[in-house]
Amino acid sequence: MYEYMEKYIRFIKSKSLSKNTIEAYSNDLEKFFSFLNDREEQFNEVDEILIMSYVQQLIKEGIANSSINRNLVTLRNFYKFLLQKHLIIESPMINYELPKIKRDLPEILTIEEIDVLLNLPDIGTYKGVRDRAMLELMYATGIKVTELLNLRIFDVNLNMEYMVCKGSKEKERIIPLGSVAIRYVREYLDLRKTISNSESLLLFLNSRGNKMSRQGFWKIVKSYAKEAGIDKDINLYTFRHSFAVHLLQNGADIKSVQELLGHVDISTTEIYYSITKKNKLIEVYKKSHPRA
């Protein structure tokens, strides 16, 4: 990932910025990449939760608000550069306001919204069965999009009800599978044998029998979200966020959620508690206030 940082530094040097400014931007990115390396994360798979975790670390280190603000500006501009170069699909950056460092928690889908969205694919078609299997698997396991698209057929053991997920740095984790996800993945595999001529071992393929891109999957999710009439900012991480919050809301312990998500540092997982608490307060208010 450092090659992209170098490209960005060359880019800002062409903007005739001062030597001190360029050095500050470079140091900010070095610090952020070190944070990602410690957590075995990739720069192009960063989501809002990881940005929040990074800011929390800066705060714990006693970094001044002005320096945190500059760090966020650096990251915002860096990801804007990646977007312009078509190296990522969307930016993970959240707007923070200083001196109070406002944290806008990412939106998650309710269980009802998840149900509506997952029921949209037309399972009378090959594409519909494939889409349903992908979405069910995403919500059932909380895996990242890249992890989903890199799954191989033999990574999923439907009889034993688990799958092997290979994350960053080829680190593997075993994730249990729910009955609904198993049902649709099995239906998809049965169809895949009869329809797809591809010799690829990848579990999910695009319409041409090749590996699906992140952008291709993003378009699928956006399309179903629009059809469902869900007025929320849905992105590639929405299913992952919803998976984590729904588990915590239903009594799962945070250590188990950390292992399922593959977080190296539990402080990243703990951010989901903020979302859970926020949703709980809203629910209590709506049920209790006479004018809610």
The catalytic residues are: 240, 263, 272
Q: From residue 152, give the alpha-carbon distance in Å to each of 67, 177, 203, 264.
A: 43, 15, 5, 24
The span from the CA of 142 to the CA of 145, in Å, is 9
Sequence letter at residue 186: R
* CA pair distance 212, 12, nearest whole angstrom: 33
Among 235, 224, 226, which Cα is nearest to 117's?
224
The type of residue at 152 is R
Cβ atoms of 42 and 1 closer than 8 Å: yes
Element (H, E) at 174: strand 172-176
